[in-house]
Amino acid sequence: MTATTITNVTLSNGVHMPILGLGVFKVVDEEAESIVKAAIDAGYRHIDTAAAYKNEAGVGAGVRASGIARDQIFVTTKIWNSEQGYDTTLAAFQASLDKLDMEYVDLLLVHWPVKGKYTETWRALESIYKSGKARAIGVSNFQIHHLKDVLASGTIVPMVNQVEYHPLLTQEELLAFCRDNGIQLTAWSPLMQGNLDLPELAEIGAKYGKSPAQVVLRWDIQNGVITIPKTTTPSRLTENANIFDFQLTEDEMKQISALNRNRRFGSDPDNFNF
Ligand code: NDP
């Protein structure tokens, strides 16, 4: 695989974002440098971290260790819930830059819609965006009603909404709302946290010589959804990126979408307590 096989999506402000990235939730800081470097060596150009993952230092070190120019790598980080509010967000963002040891990030997200706080947090992201220290800004775990609040109170439409999204949670209404408003959806836990044991995925994959993971990731990108599978297994880095040489039929796409059970592996954005 070469870097050029991973295609880009163009965000509403014209910034290009690779449609596949590496997620690093639960990767310890000490391990982050080596897995990020291995991913970049394997052709990845997009890394998804967060202040809450406590591995921004390792991620930054991995990007530098890769030897690839900073402007060729797309780095996302997120403002954690306890830091939400205007001034606290500005300070939290600077702390993230310091840990990453970077001058800017490519994408900055509000990690969760903390009640009573997220519109103020969004105002801070708008000012960070205007300063040039985040090339794009967006939200995460926002339902339609949260997005409507931000559209009503803010002056910039979020460029991205990163949510749990996979064949058991297809989020069709949310995806349609985002498309209608020029908001790019990104899938977190795209591999259902490793719960890939669905016979339909294996059957479809067998036709193409692809694994269930590859079928799911291909379904994401054919739906126009950015995907950020996590792995710390080097062979899976390559496996998960090897999805640009086959195409699912319309029937197969529908068959996978029909697996939906509105099943969450993570928290519900309307009912979380952290
Ligand atoms: P994923 O759905 O990406 O699943 C990761 C699990 O799947 C790991 O156990 C991994 O094992 C395994 N796996 C990876 N590749 C394969 C494969 N080819 N075949 C079989 N198993 C595989 O879960 P995550 O929850 O980590 O989500 C991905 C990313 O999304 C996170 O890392 C994070 O960046 C982001 N995220 C964002 C959230 C938010 O609130 N914004 C919330 C949760 C996640 P192993 O590593 O051992 O190979």
The tokens for 125 are 């992201």
Q: Is 44 exposed, middle or buried (0-12, 13-18, 19+ CB in 10 A)?
A: buried
Q: Which tens digit of pLDDT belongs to each residue from 52-110? A: 999 999 999 999 999 999 999 999 999 999 999 999 999 999 999 999 999 999 999 99
pLDDT of residue 16: 98
Q: Which of the listed residues 141, 162, 188, 217 should we mutate to test ligand 1's pocket, taking the one with most ligand atoms within 8 A of CB?
A: 188
- pLDDT digit string, tens, across residues 156-172: 999 999 999 999 999 99
Length of the chain measured in residues:
274
Q: What is the mean pLDDT of residues 135-145?
A: 98
- The structure's pTM equals 0.98
* Per-residue pLDDT, 5: 79
Statement: residue 1 has pLDDT above 50? no
Element (H, E) at 46: strand 46-48
> For ligand 1, atom 36, which residue shows the shortest CA distance?
188
- When pLDDT is averaged across residues 1-20 and rounded to a whole number, the result is 86
| Ligand 1 and 229: CB distance under 6 A | yes
85 contacts 92 by C-beta, under 8 angstroms:
no
Token representation of residue 10: 């163009």
Mean pLDDT over residues 136-164, rounded? 98
Contacts of 91-98 with CB under 8 Å at 24 or more apart are 92/51, 93/124, 93/128, 93/133, 93/134, 95/51, 96/51, 96/56, 97/133
Q: How far is CA 260 from CA 181, 227, 242, in A?
A: 24, 18, 25
Instruction: For the domain covering 3-257, report its CATH number.
Output: 3.20.20.100
The long-range contacts involving 175-182, CB below 8 angstroms and separated by at least 24 positions, are 175/223, 175/225, 177/144, 177/147, 178/147, 179/224, 181/147, 181/151, 181/157, 182/12, 182/157
Cα–ligand 1 centroid distance for 189 (angstroms):
5
Which residues fall within 8 angstroms of residue 79, CB to CB, at 6 or more apart? 51, 89, 92, 93, 96, 108, 109, 110, 111, 121, 124, 125
CA of 12 to the centre of ligand 1 (A): 27
- Side-chain-side CA neighbours of 119 within 13 Å: the count stands at 12
**Would you place residue 4 in the very low, low, confident or very high pLDDT band (cuts 50, 70, 90)?**
very low
135: pLDDT strictly greater than 90? yes
For residues 186 and 7, give the distance between their C-alpha atoms in angstroms, rounded to a whole number: 14
Beta partners for 226?
Answer: 186
pLDDT tens-place string over residues 187-216 = 999 999 999 999 999 999 999 999 999 999
- Provide the annotated active-site residues: 53
Residue carrying structure tokens 């739906």 = 223
Spatial separation of the C-alpha atoms in residues 96 and 94, rounded to whole Å:
5
The pLDDT, as a whole number, for residue 27 is 98
Q: Is the CB of 240 under 6 A from ligand 1?
A: yes
Nearest residue (by CA) to ligand 1, atom 22, is 194
190 lines ligand 1 (CB under 6 A): yes
Give the separation between CA 21 and CA 35, rounded to whole angstroms.
12
Give the domain ranges of the chain. 3-257
Reading the block at residue 183, the tokens are 């908001």
C-alpha of residue 229 to centroid of ligand 1, in Å: 5
